[in-house]
Amino acid sequence: MKEKIIGFFTDVVKEMKKVTWPRPEELRESTVVVLVVCGVIAVFVFGADWVVSNLLKIIQ
Protein backbone atom coordinates (compact mmCIF):
# COMPACT_ATOMS: atom_id res chain seq x y z
CA MET A 1 0.00 0.00 0.00
CA LYS A 2 2.84 2.38 0.89
CA GLU A 3 4.46 1.80 -2.51
CA LYS A 4 1.21 2.71 -4.29
CA ILE A 5 0.92 5.98 -2.39
CA ILE A 6 4.55 6.88 -3.08
CA GLY A 7 4.07 5.94 -6.74
CA PHE A 8 0.98 8.11 -6.96
CA PHE A 9 2.75 11.19 -5.64
CA THR A 10 5.77 10.50 -7.83
CA ASP A 11 3.47 10.44 -10.86
CA VAL A 12 1.79 13.65 -9.70
CA VAL A 13 5.16 15.41 -9.53
CA LYS A 14 6.08 14.14 -13.03
CA GLU A 15 2.78 15.36 -14.49
CA MET A 16 2.99 18.74 -12.78
CA LYS A 17 6.37 19.32 -14.42
CA LYS A 18 4.67 18.90 -17.83
CA VAL A 19 2.11 21.62 -17.11
CA THR A 20 2.55 24.88 -18.98
CA TRP A 21 1.56 27.60 -16.54
CA PRO A 22 0.14 30.86 -17.93
CA ARG A 23 2.22 33.99 -17.88
CA PRO A 24 0.96 36.80 -15.60
CA GLU A 25 -0.25 38.78 -18.65
CA GLU A 26 -2.29 35.81 -19.92
CA LEU A 27 -3.72 35.30 -16.46
CA ARG A 28 -4.78 38.95 -16.22
CA GLU A 29 -6.37 38.85 -19.68
CA SER A 30 -8.27 35.68 -18.86
CA THR A 31 -9.47 37.16 -15.59
CA VAL A 32 -10.76 40.26 -17.37
CA VAL A 33 -12.58 38.12 -19.94
CA VAL A 34 -14.21 36.03 -17.21
CA LEU A 35 -15.31 39.12 -15.27
CA VAL A 36 -16.73 40.81 -18.38
CA VAL A 37 -18.64 37.67 -19.44
CA CYS A 38 -20.01 37.27 -15.89
CA GLY A 39 -21.14 40.90 -15.96
CA VAL A 40 -22.84 40.51 -19.33
CA ILE A 41 -24.64 37.37 -18.18
CA ALA A 42 -25.71 39.09 -14.94
CA VAL A 43 -27.13 42.05 -16.87
CA PHE A 44 -28.97 39.70 -19.24
CA VAL A 45 -30.48 37.66 -16.39
CA PHE A 46 -31.46 40.85 -14.55
CA GLY A 47 -33.12 42.20 -17.70
CA ALA A 48 -34.95 38.97 -18.43
CA ASP A 49 -36.15 38.76 -14.83
CA TRP A 50 -37.34 42.36 -14.93
CA VAL A 51 -39.25 41.82 -18.18
CA VAL A 52 -40.90 38.62 -16.97
CA SER A 53 -41.80 40.20 -13.62
CA ASN A 54 -43.45 43.15 -15.33
CA LEU A 55 -45.31 40.90 -17.75
CA LEU A 56 -46.66 38.88 -14.83
CA LYS A 57 -47.77 42.07 -13.07
CA ILE A 58 -49.62 43.16 -16.21
CA ILE A 59 -51.33 39.75 -16.58
CA GLN A 60 -52.62 39.78 -12.99
28: left (phi over 0), alpha (psi -120 to 50) or beta: alpha
Does position 60 have pLDDT exceeding 90, yes or no? no
- Between the two ends of the chain, the Cα-to-Cα distance in Å is 67
Residue-wise pLDDT tens digits, 1-21: 989 999 999 999 999 999 999
Tell me the per-residue pLDDT of 37-56, one tens digit each, with 9 for 90 and over: 999 999 999 999 999 999 99
HEC string of the chain equals: CHHHHHHHHHHHHHHHHHCCCCCHHHHHHHHHHHHHHHHHHHHHHHHHHHHHHHHHHHHC
